[in-house]
């Protein structure tokens, strides 16, 4: 399988090169040349597979240049760190299915892809005899998952930018208390969008990217999206086993990576009726789907801080398909966005968007109300991001459909919001025990490309 850019200006590359390239060298995002489609018989034959076996079947369709034994070994090692045998179990509470994606070492869905990506990087660097400096941006969860994925690994340095004082306190501690020599945390005085823009601009500085062998852990890296496709299949098997039909996945959305993985699963032939895109007050994607209004606003802080994002990077991948795989139209759209702060869509394009997606923006009061009501009804504590998706599902999923809500983080990561809603501080799982007493290290810098570039140059491998 080869990979092409949404901007159409690179020669196709294989899977291994795509993983190492991260952001395409023409500034676009990498996608497979074609998305494989699965027959009903193949789907049926996968129903009883374990998570790791299913991951192997799906990922091997795309990672065709990795020998089968090596791939299965990478997958097995990556999920050995999860605390649930099922990796991403599905539970049924108060009329909705909850797909729990927080059983990895840093208690958020990012672990599902980043444990694998960390091992994949180590494998590829060893094979090539190379080293890498990872540079990533985080609103709180990608950062710690990526750090845990590569801490202490040979030939890898990691630089993670997070918005200073804009993550939850636990999220910040999960990053800054990892003091291995190869880990560099940078708290940038700005928003997540500022951090992501700086990271993308460093990747677009091709001499810098090459000199320091930059690697990407954000969902700009295709391997991230690919690993996330697996749990849509896994969950679909679990709920349809129980007679569920007309499955709707409700996905709390920020950078559009998670829901884009669902879109790929649907494109591969997984019988999903709709994808429900749930946002907090940072709702540009909801405005786009419901009103055709894709115009950038200011980022506002919310109780679901990991989704405090305006410019969702994976949206570009979706636009490639919406524009009938025409890279020139993608390039024009991004010129329009840079010049005017918006992208205009035709009524035909918007009709196609609405065939695939439903959307709802859930505000702070509704999020807290949902955490409280769900807890009262079931005893189950939702984290605020998951609550955004649950509320959207409760309001928009039709009675004859089966709602599956992605639980993207453990409630203990956002204890303040959960306590505000329910009066109960979520108990700390073992992974967080004593975290507030550990030594920490972090550089606080201006959200300024030059300052951050200089910091990386000083500390790079
Ligand atoms: C806990 C949590 N939920 C939801 C999201 C949204 O996911 P995505 O950025 O893939 O849309 C994120 C990060 O963005 C997150 O950290
Ligand atoms: N919510 C994310 C934002 C970065 O998204 P990514 O999926 O592109 O890595 C985070 O927790 O950092």
Sign for the pseudo-dihedral over CA of 186, 190, 194, 198: negative
Residue 362 confidence (pLDDT) above 90: yes
CA angle 86, 88, 94 (to 5 degrees): 110
The residue whose C-alpha atom lies closest to atom 11 belonging to ligand 2 is: 141
Residue 13 has pLDDT above 90, yes or no: yes
What does the alpha-carbon distance between residue 435 and residue 416 come to, in Å, rounded to a whole number?
16
CA of 255 to the centre of ligand 1 (A): 7
279 Cα to the center of ligand 2, angstroms? 14
Output the ligand 2 site: residues, CB below 6 A.
138-143, 218-219, 254-255, 257, 306, 313
Q: Whose CA is nearest to atom 4 of ligand 2?
A: 138
Pocket flag, ligand 1, residue 16 (CB < 6 Å): no
d(CA 17, CA 35): 18
pTM, entire model = 0.97
Candidates 285, 265, 239, 253; CA nearest to 404 is: 239
Position 159 pLDDT exceeds 90: yes
Ligand 1 centroid, distance to 228 Cα (angstroms): 12
Q: Which two tokens stand for residue 181?
A: 């020599």
Q: Which of 186, 187, 216, 219 to mutate to test the pocket of ligand 2 (most atoms within 8 A of CB)?
A: 219
pLDDT tens digits, 131-155: 999 999 999 999 999 999 999 999 9
Q: Residue 40: pLDDT band by 50, 70, 90 thresholds?
A: very high
Q: Which of 16, 110, 200, 274 is catalytic?
A: 110
Neighbours of 341 (CB within 10 A): 11
pLDDT at residue 336 is higher than 90: yes
Ligand 2 pocket check: which of 30, 104, 138, 146 to mutate, most ligand atoms within 8 Å of Cβ? 138
Q: What is the mean pLDDT of residues 4-11?
A: 98
Rounded-to-integer distance, Cα 249 and Cα 259, Å:
9
Give 17: exposed, middle or buried? Use CB within 10 Å, 0-12, 13-18, 19+.
middle
Q: CB neighbours (10 Å) of residue 210?
A: 10
Contact 390, 396 (CB under 8 A): no
**Ligand nearest to the backbone CA of 414:** 1
Residue 385: CB within 6 Å of ligand 1? yes
CA distances from 375 to 303, 418, 450 (A): 17, 10, 47
- Which-ligand-closest: CA of 256? 1
For the residues 357-363, what does the mean pLDDT come to?
98
Q: Residue 257: what pLDDT?
A: 97
Whether 348 shows a pLDDT value over 90: the answer reads yes
Provide the mean pLDDT of the chain: 97
Spatial distance between the Cα atoms of 60 and 58, rounded to a whole number of angstroms: 6
- If pLDDT is split at 50, 70 and 90, which confidence band does 71 have? very high
Quick: pLDDT tens for 384-417: 999 999 999 999 999 999 999 999 999 999 999 9
| Average pLDDT value for residue range 238-262 | 95
Q: Is residue 445 scored above 90 in pLDDT? A: yes
Lookup: tokens for 130: 């190379």
Strands 294-295 and 13-14: unpaired
pLDDT at 242 over 90: no
Q: Could you say which ligand is closest to the alpha carbon of residue 383?
A: 1
**Does position 447 have pLDDT exceeding 90, yes or no?**
yes
* 38-54 mean pLDDT: 97
For residue 142, the CA-to-ligand 2 centroid distance in Å is 5
Residue 243 has pLDDT above 90, yes or no: no
* C-beta 254 within 6 A of ligand 1: yes
- Closest-lying ligand 1 atom to the alpha carbon of residue 228: 10
pLDDT of residue 244: 83
User: What ligand is nearest to the CA atom of residue 29?
Assistant: 2
Average pLDDT over residues 70-86: 98
Indicate whether 301 pLDDT > 90. Answer: yes
| Of 192, 193, 220, 252, best ligand 1 pocket probe by most atoms within 8 Å of the beta carbon | 252
Distant-in-sequence, close-in-space partners of 241: CB < 8 Å, separation ≥ 6: 47
Does residue 110 carry a catalytic annotation?
Answer: yes
The pLDDT assigned to 108 comes to 98
Domains in the chain, ordered, with CATH? 90-107+223-422 (3.40.50.1100)
Nearest C-alpha to atom 9 of ligand 1 is from which residue?
A: 255
Verify whether ligand 1 is closer than 6 Å to residue 409 (CB atom): yes
Instruction: Tell me which residue has its CA closest to atom 7 in ligand 2.
Output: 219
Contact 214, 22 (CB under 8 A): yes
336 Cα to the center of ligand 1, angstroms: 26
The atom of ligand 1 lying closest to the CA of 255 is: 9
Q: With bands split at pLDDT 50, 70 and 90, how would you rate the model's confidence at 219? A: very high
Contact 317, 29 (CB under 8 A): yes
Cα separation, 6 vs 26, whole angstroms = 9
> Whose Cα sits closest to atom 12 in ligand 1?
306
Q: Is the pLDDT of residue 81 over 90?
A: yes
Percentage of residues in the chain having pLDDT higher than 70: 100
| Amino acid 216: pLDDT | 97
- Mutational pocket test of ligand 2: of 161, 218, 406, the residue with most ligand atoms within 8 Å of the beta carbon: 218
ipTM of the complex: 0.99
Q: Distance, CA 257 to ligand 1 centroid (Å)?
A: 8
- Please give the distance, rounded to the nearest whole angstrom, from the Cα atom of residue 431 to the centre of ligand 2: 20
């Amino acid at each position: 399988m080869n990979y092409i850019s949404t901007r159409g200006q690179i020669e196709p590359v294989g899977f291994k090169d795509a993983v190492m390239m991260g952001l395409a060298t023409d500034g676009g995002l990498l996608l497979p040349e074609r998305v494989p489609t699965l027959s009903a018989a193949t789907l049926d034959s996968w129903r009883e597979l374990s998570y790791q076996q299913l991951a192997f079947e799906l990922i091997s369709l795309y990672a065709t240049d990795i020998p089968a034994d090596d791939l299965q070994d990478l997958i097995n090692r990556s999920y050995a760190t999860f605390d649930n045998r099922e990796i991403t179990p599905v539970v049924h509470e108060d009329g909705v299915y909850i797909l729990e994606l927080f059983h990895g070492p840093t208690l958020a869905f990012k672990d599902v892809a980043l444990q694998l990506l960390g091992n994949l990087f180590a494998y590829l660097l060893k094979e090539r005899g190379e080293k890498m400096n990872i540079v990533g941006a985080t609103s709180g969860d990608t950062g710690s998952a990526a750090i845990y994925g590569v801490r202490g690994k040979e030939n890898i340095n990691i630089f993670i930018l997070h918005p200073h004082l804009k993550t939850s306190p636990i999220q910040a501690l999960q990053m800054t208390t990892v003091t291995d020599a190869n880990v560099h945390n940078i708290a940038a005085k700005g928003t997540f969008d500022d951090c992501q823009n700086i990271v993308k601009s460093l990747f677009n500085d091709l001499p810098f990217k090459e000199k320091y062998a930059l690697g990407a852990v954000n969902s700009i890296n295709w391997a991230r999206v690919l690993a996330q496709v697996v749990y849509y299949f896994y969950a679909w098997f679990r709920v349809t086993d129980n007679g569920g039909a007309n499955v709707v996945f409700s996905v709390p959305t920020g950078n559009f990576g998670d829901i884009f993985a669902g879109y790929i699963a649907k494109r591969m032939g997984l019988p999903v009726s709709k994808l429900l895109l749930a946002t907090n007050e940072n709702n540009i994607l909801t405005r786009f789907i419901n009103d055709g209004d894709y115009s950038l606003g200011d980022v506002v802080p919310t109780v679901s801080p990991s989704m405090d994002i305006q410019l969702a990077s994976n949206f570009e991948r979706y636009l490639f398909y919406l524009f009938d795989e025409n890279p020139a139209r993608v390039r024009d759209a991004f010129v329009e966005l840079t010049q005017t702060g918006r992208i205009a869509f035709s009524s035909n394009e918007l009709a196609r968007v609405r065939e695939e997606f439903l959307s709802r923006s859930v505000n702070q009061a509704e999020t807290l109300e949902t955490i409280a009501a769900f807890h009262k009804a079931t005893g189950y504590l939702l984290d605020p991001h998951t609550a955004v998706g649950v509320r959207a599902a409760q309001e928009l999923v039709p009675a004859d459909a089966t709602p599956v809500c992605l639980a993207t983080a453990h409630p203990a990561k956002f204890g303040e919001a959960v306590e505000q809603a329910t009066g109960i501080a979520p108990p700390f799982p073992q992974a967080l025990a004593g975290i507030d007493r550990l030594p920490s290290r972090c550089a606080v810098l201006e959200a300024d490309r030059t300052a951050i570039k200089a910091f990386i140059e000083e500390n790079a491998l």
